[in-house]
Amino acid sequence: MKEDNRPKFTTKFGVIAATVGSAVGLGNIWRFPYEAGAHGGGAFLAVNILCVLLIGIPVVCAEFLMGRSSRRNIFGAMSALAPKGGRWWRFAGMLGVVSGTLILSFYAVVAGWTLEYLFQSVTGNLTAPDVRDSHAEFMGFTAGWRCVFWTVVLLAVNTVIVLRGVQKGIEKVSNWMMPLLFVLLVMMAVNSLILPGAKEGLSFLFCPDFSHVDSSTVLSALGQAFFSLSVGLGTLTVYGSYFPSRTKIVKSASIMAGLDTMVAIVAGVIIFPAVFSFGMEPAAGPQLVFEVLPDIFRQMTGGGIWAALFFLLLLIASLTSTISLSETGVAFCVEHWNLGRGKAVALTLGIVTFFAIFCALSFGPLSGATLWGMTVFDIFDYVTSNIFLPVGGMLVSIFVGWIVDRATVDRELRPASRFIRRSVIFLLRYVCPVAILAVFLNNLFG
């Protein structure tokens, strides 16, 4: 597709809002707090920031330059940028398209949970004094048909936004959602900072004890950086293809990674002071947000309001990520199957909704349908997060570092200094693939 005919983001703010929105999601507000809680707080944060700098930003740059230089989705980019005889790289691109579709299928289920919890917060049911067991409430909701309902609603909202296109849909929604997200973050953080246990919570998050750092901490921090930035899926390649020619790739990648990390840190500032103030366990795990926090909100003054604001925050973060995951499949259908945008959206979101319903039902009616002890939801989560995501990121690093014409890479990374350009290439060639391989092996055999 020629550049003149391809839709593009219209402003610098639109570029940043859309790319940050793609990255900011459940990985920041749901996953980061429980990973930090399980691995020592401050030490995990310090290692995570280092991983973002050395691994995350270079791979983000790689995806951005693939998209902008080819003006195609990840499948088309790898087909176009591979030298003659290397056309098999298109299959690596197809892995990204498939990964995005499968991840969206189970991610939409978790995002649907935020809709249920927002609804319960607004109606006052979440913080009602007669609620005694948050775990039982959560298990009861996910095992019922309400879970399927909210999943479908979430995907329907996605469909409406993506159907409107790049400028009127993705960019426009990102332009107001991301500022709202940051306003909510600040409001929630200020409230947490005035809680009695704020000092202890902040000390846990910002005062690292490196004696607790081991290989598990490093690999978890690297996995968190990788998961949070949404690399290896092709979403950033698609967004990169919508960049205007004047967009500075290294600068955009750095801003995106910096703001994404900042959101995760502020999420920690929101959660850990509250956890310590009310005597909860910071290493509570994945249930921290949906089981532990509701107990905390019930004990807070104005807890219903703060619960509603928090789950609205989580919903916005989820929605911006699901939009970018949707666009990966839509762009593929438009460019390679020559479908109109309406048909491409209907096909992509139709397939996702079909799979998502089975993922949602795996907590209830289909909970007994297992393979190797895993439900449908577990299989989608395990295969994509532990295999497809790291393999995709490793292939992107190798492809841009070793396969793509060096002149093309150097040109796309300008106007960054020669030192920065060489550093990015060096990291993509020698550091990123090895580090990502370590995460991959740890996920499989650790």
How many other C-beta atoms can be found within 10 angstroms of the C-beta atom of residue 281? Answer: 11
Measured CA angle at 52 (ends 173, 45), to 5 deg: 100
pLDDT of residue 398: 96
CA 46 to centroid of chain Cα atoms = 20
At CA 30, angle to CA 29 and CA 32, rounded to 5? 75
Residue 434 Cα to chain centre, angstroms: 22
- Asked if residue 184 lies in contact with residue 312, where contact means CB atoms within 8 angstroms, the answer is yes
pTM, rounded to two decimals: 0.92
Q: List, in order of start, the domains of the chain with CATH numbers.
A: 3-445 (1.20.1740.10)
Residue type, 270: I
pLDDT at 444: 82
**What is d(CA 312, CA 424) in angstroms, rounded to the nearest whole number?**
37
pLDDT the model gives residue 283: 62
Q: Is 301 left (phi over 0), alpha (psi -120 to 50) or beta?
A: beta
* Neighbouring C-beta atoms of residue 301, cutoff 10 Å: 7
What pLDDT sits at residue 226? 81
- Ordered DSSP codes for 383-445: HIIIIIHHHHHHHHHHIIIIIS-HHHHHHHHTTS-HHHHHHHHHIIIIIHHHHHHHHHHHHHH
pLDDT (0 to 100) of residue 284: 59
Q: How far is residue 139's CA from residue 347's CA, in Å, rounded to a whole number? A: 32
What is the spatial distance between Cα 129 and Cα 144, in angstroms, rounded to a whole number?
23
The amino acid occupying position 100 is G
Q: What angle do CA 8, 14, 17 make, to 5 degrees?
A: 130
Long-range Cβ pairs for the range 91-97 (8 Å, 24+): 92/392, 92/395, 92/396, 92/399, 93/234, 95/388, 95/391, 95/392, 95/395, 96/232, 96/233, 96/234, 96/237, 96/328, 96/392, 97/73, 97/234, 97/328, 97/329, 97/332
Give the pLDDT confidence score for residue 286 in this predicted structure. 58
Q: What pLDDT, on a 0 to 100 scale, did the predictor assign at position 445?
A: 82
* Per-residue pLDDT at 6: 85
Longest C-alpha distance within the chain, in Å? 68
- Burial level of 382, CB count in 10 A (0-12/13-18/19+)? middle
Q: What is the pLDDT of residue 428?
A: 97
Q: Where are the beta strands (DSSP E) in 92-182?
A: none
pLDDT at 206: 95
All residues at 6 or more sequence positions from 364 whose CB lies less than 8 Å from its CB, including other chains: 142, 143, 144, 145, 147
Distance CA 436, CA 81 (A): 23
pLDDT tens digits in sequence order for the chain, 446 residues long: 444 578 999 999 999 999 999 999 888 887 888 888 888 899 999 999 999 999 999 999 999 999 999 999 999 999 999 988 677 898 999 999 999 999 999 999 999 999 999 999 999 888 887 766 787 888 889 988 999 999 999 999 999 999 999 999 999 999 999 999 999 999 999 999 998 889 999 999 999 988 878 888 888 888 888 888 888 889 999 999 999 999 999 999 999 999 999 999 999 999 889 888 888 777 655 567 888 788 888 888 888 899 999 999 999 999 999 999 999 999 999 999 999 999 999 999 999 999 999 999 999 999 999 998 999 999 998 898 888 988 999 999 999 999 999 999 999 999 999 999 999 999 999 999 999 998 888 878 86
